[in-house]
Structure 1
Amino acid sequence: MRVSGIIASAVFWIFTFISISRNTWFDFYRDAFSDLGGSRANDPWIYNYGLIVASIFVILLSLDMIMISRTKIGVVGGSYISIAGIFLALIGIFPAGTRPHTFVSTWFFIQAFIGFLIYGLGEFRKYPGYLATIIIIFITALSGAIIIRWPSAATIEAYEIILLTVASLIYVIKHRFQ
Structure 2
Amino acid sequence: MKREVTIVMVIYFIIGLALVISQNPWFSFTKNALSDMGSAKNPKGWMFNLYIIGLGIIGIIVANLLNRNLLKISMILLILVGIFPEEEPPHTPSAILMYLLSFIDMGLYSRTWRIIATITFTIMVILVSFKIGLAIPELIGAAAILSYILYLGWKR
Structure-2-length-normalised TM-score: 0.88
Q: Distance in 2 between matches of 1:135 and 1:174?
A: 17
Q: Distance in 2 between matches of 1:140 and 1:26?
A: 27
Match of 1:125 in 2: none
- Once the two structures are superposed, residues 88-111 of structure 1 have per-residue CA deviations (whole angstroms, 9 ceiling, x without a partner) of 100000011111111111111111
Relative to structure 1, is the Cα distance of residues 137 and 5 closer, same or farther in structure 2, using a 3 angstrom cutoff? farther
Whether the 8 Å contact between 1:55 and 1:85 is mirrored in structure 2 is yes
C-alpha deviations, 1:44-99, integer Å up to 9, x for none? Answer: 11111111111111111211222xxxxxxxxxxx1111101100100000011111
How far apart, in 2, do the equivalents of 1:58 and 1:150 lie? 29
User: What's the RMSD between the two structures over aligned residues?
Assistant: 1.7
How far did 1:6 drift? 4.1
The equivalent residue for 1:155 is: 136
Match of 2:92 among 102, 121, 127: 102
Match of 2:123 among 137, 144, 161: 144
2:82 counterpart (92, 108, 125): 92
User: Could you list the runs of 4 or more consecutive aligned residues of structure 1 that deviate by over 6 angstroms after TM superposition?
Assistant: none
Residue segments in structure 2 that go unaligned for 5+ positions in a row: none
Identity of aligned residues (%): 26
Aligned to 1:47: 48
Deviation of 1:40 after TM superposition, in Å, equals: 3.0
Partner amino acid, structure 1, of 2:69: S
Q: Between Structure 1 and Structure 2, whose CA radius of gyration is higher?
A: 1
Distance verdict in 2 for CA 1:42–1:159, change over 3 Å: same
Q: Distance in 2 between matches of 1:5 and 1:84?
A: 16
